[in-house]
Chain A
Amino acid sequence: MTGTSTDPGVTTSTLNMSADSDIQIIPDGSGRKDDGGAAGPVDRLYNFLAAVPTWILWVLVFIWTLPTFSLFVNSFRSRDAQRNAGWWTVFDDEVPPSIANYEEVLGAEASGGLTAGLVNSFAIAIPATIIPIAIAAFAAYAFAWIDFKGRQVLFIATVSLLAIPNQVSLIPLLQTYSNGAHWTIPGLDKTMTIVPDLGLAGTTTAVWITHTAFAMPFAIFLLHNYISQLPKDLFESARIDGADHFTIFWRLVFPLSVPVLAAFAIFQFLWTWNDYLIALTMIGANGDNWPATIKIASQAGEFGLKEHILSAGAFVQAFVPLVVFFLLQRFFVRGLLAGSVKG
Chain B
Amino acid sequence: MAEVVLERVNKIYPNGYHAIHDLDLDIKDGEFLVLVGPSGCGKSTALRMVAGLEEISGGEMRIGPTLVNDVHPKDRDIAMVFQNYALYPHMTVADNIGFALKLAKIPKAEIEERVGKAAAILDLTEQLPKKPGQLSGGQRQRVAMGRAIVRQPKAFLMDEPLSNLDAKLRVQMRAEIAALQRDLGVTTIYVTHDQVEAMTMGDRVCVLKRGFLQQVDTPQNLYDSPDNVFVAGFIGSPSMNLMRLTLGGTADNMSVEIEGQTLKIDPQVAQAKPALAGFLGREVVVGIRPEDMEDAEIATDAPGDRKLRTHCTLIEALGSELIVHFPLAVESFSIMDAEFEGEDAVEQAKDEQGRTIYVGRFSPRSRARIGSELEVVVDTARFHFFDPESGNAIRG
A-side residues, CB < 8 A to B, are 8, 10, 12-14, 16-18, 20-21, 24, 231, 233-234, 236-244, 247, 251-252, 255-256
B133 surroundings in chain A (CB, below 8 A): 8, 12-13, 16-17
B164 surroundings in chain A (CB, below 8 A): 20-21, 24
A233 surroundings in chain B (CB, below 8 A): 82-86
B53 within 8 A of A: yes
B304 within 8 A of A: no
- For the complex, what is the distance from the CA of A18 to the CA of B82, rounded to whole Å? 13
B78 surroundings in chain A (CB, below 8 A): 240
Q: Are A239 and B73 in contact (CB under 8 A)?
A: yes
Interface string of B141-183 (1 = CB under 8 A from A): 0000001000000000000000110000000000000000000
- For the complex, what is the distance from the CA of A234 to the CA of B147, rounded to whole Å? 13
Q: Are A242 and B103 in contact (CB under 8 A)?
A: yes
Partner of A242, one of B53, B83, B86, B104: B104
B328 CB, min distance to chain A CBs, angstroms: 32
Q: Are A24 and B163 in contact (CB under 8 A)?
A: yes
Range for the number of chain B residues in contact with chain A: 20 to 34
Q: Are A239 and B82 in contact (CB under 8 A)?
A: no
B76 CB, min distance to chain A CBs, angstroms: 8
18 A-B residue pairs with Cβ-Cβ distance under 8 Å, sorted by A, are A8-B133, A8-B134, A13-B90, A13-B131, A17-B85, A20-B137, A24-B163, A231-B84, A236-B82, A238-B88, A239-B73, A240-B73, A241-B103, A241-B147, A242-B104, A243-B103, A244-B74, A256-B90
A295 CB, min distance to chain B CBs, angstroms: 42
Nearest 6 CB-CB pairings of A with B: A13-B133, A233-B86, A237-B86, A241-B100, A242-B74, A13-B89
- For the complex, what is the distance from the CA of A8 to the CA of B135, rounded to whole Å? 12
B100 surroundings in chain A (CB, below 8 A): 240-242
A14 surroundings in chain B (CB, below 8 A): 89
- For the complex, what is the distance from the CA of A24 to the CA of B82, rounded to whole Å? 13
Q: Are A240 and B80 in contact (CB under 8 A)?
A: yes
CB-CB contacts below 8 Å: B220-245 with A? none
B199 within 8 A of A: no
B104 surroundings in chain A (CB, below 8 A): 242
Most chain-A Cβ atoms within 10 A of its Cβ — which of B80, B90, B134? B90
Most chain-B Cβ atoms within 10 A of its Cβ — which of A16, A18, A234, A240? A240
B79 within 8 A of A: yes
- For the complex, what is the distance from the CA of A240 to the CA of B79, rounded to whole Å? 7
- For the complex, what is the distance from the CA of A231 to the CA of B84, rounded to whole Å? 9
B84 surroundings in chain A (CB, below 8 A): 17-18, 20-21, 24, 231, 233
CB-CB contacts below 8 Å: B45-85 with A? 51-53, 72-74, 78-80, 82-85
A28 CB, min distance to chain B CBs, angstroms: 9
B49 CB, min distance to chain A CBs, angstroms: 13
A12 surroundings in chain B (CB, below 8 A): 133
Partner of B90, one of A231, A239, A255: A255
A192 CB, min distance to chain B CBs, angstroms: 41
- For the complex, what is the distance from the CA of A241 to the CA of B89, rounded to whole Å? 15
Q: Are B132 and A17 in contact (CB under 8 A)?
A: yes
- For the complex, what is the distance from the CA of A185 to the CA of B83, rounded to whole Å? 61
Known: A16-B133, A233-B86, A237-B147. 19 other contacts (CB 8 A): A13-B89, A17-B87, A17-B132, A18-B84, A21-B83, A21-B164, A24-B84, A231-B86, A234-B86, A234-B88, A236-B51, A237-B80, A239-B53, A239-B74, A240-B52, A240-B100, A243-B74, A247-B103, A255-B90
- For the complex, what is the distance from the CA of A228 to the CA of B89, rounded to whole Å? 16
Q: Are B103 and A24 in contact (CB under 8 A)?
A: no
B99 within 8 A of A: yes
CB-CB contacts below 8 Å: B109-150 with A? 131-134, 137, 147
* Nearest B-chain residue to A236, judged by Cβ: B53
B74 surroundings in chain A (CB, below 8 A): 239-244
A25 CB, min distance to chain B CBs, angstroms: 9
B139 CB, min distance to chain A CBs, angstroms: 13
- For the complex, what is the distance from the CA of A24 to the CA of B74, rounded to whole Å? 28
Partner of B86, one of A236, A243, A244, A256: A236
A241 surroundings in chain B (CB, below 8 A): 74, 99-100, 103, 147
Q: Are A252 and B86 in contact (CB under 8 A)?
A: no
B79 CB, min distance to chain A CBs, angstroms: 7
A236 surroundings in chain B (CB, below 8 A): 51, 53, 73, 80, 82, 86
A107 CB, min distance to chain B CBs, angstroms: 48
* Nearest A-chain residue to B140, judged by Cβ: A17
Most chain-B Cβ atoms within 10 A of its Cβ — which of A14, A16, A244, A256? A14
* Nearest B-chain residue to A235, judged by Cβ: B86
- For the complex, what is the distance from the CA of A238 to the CA of B84, rounded to whole Å? 14
- For the complex, what is the distance from the CA of A62 to the CA of B370, rounded to whole Å? 72
A339 CB, min distance to chain B CBs, angstroms: 16
* Nearest A-chain residue to B148, judged by Cβ: A240
- For the complex, what is the distance from the CA of A238 to the CA of B82, rounded to whole Å? 11
B73 surroundings in chain A (CB, below 8 A): 236, 239-240
Most chain-A Cβ atoms within 10 A of its Cβ — which of B72, B87, B132? B87
Given A12-B133, A17-B89, A17-B132, CB of A237 within 8 Å of CB of B82: yes
Most chain-B Cβ atoms within 10 A of its Cβ — which of A10, A12, A238, A241? A241
B147 surroundings in chain A (CB, below 8 A): 237, 241
Given A20-B84, A241-B99, A241-B103, CB of A10 within 8 Å of CB of B89: yes
A331 CB, min distance to chain B CBs, angstroms: 15
B276 CB, min distance to chain A CBs, angstroms: 42
* Nearest A-chain residue to B159, judged by Cβ: A233
A171 CB, min distance to chain B CBs, angstroms: 46
B235 CB, min distance to chain A CBs, angstroms: 23
- For the complex, what is the distance from the CA of A20 to the CA of B136, rounded to whole Å? 12
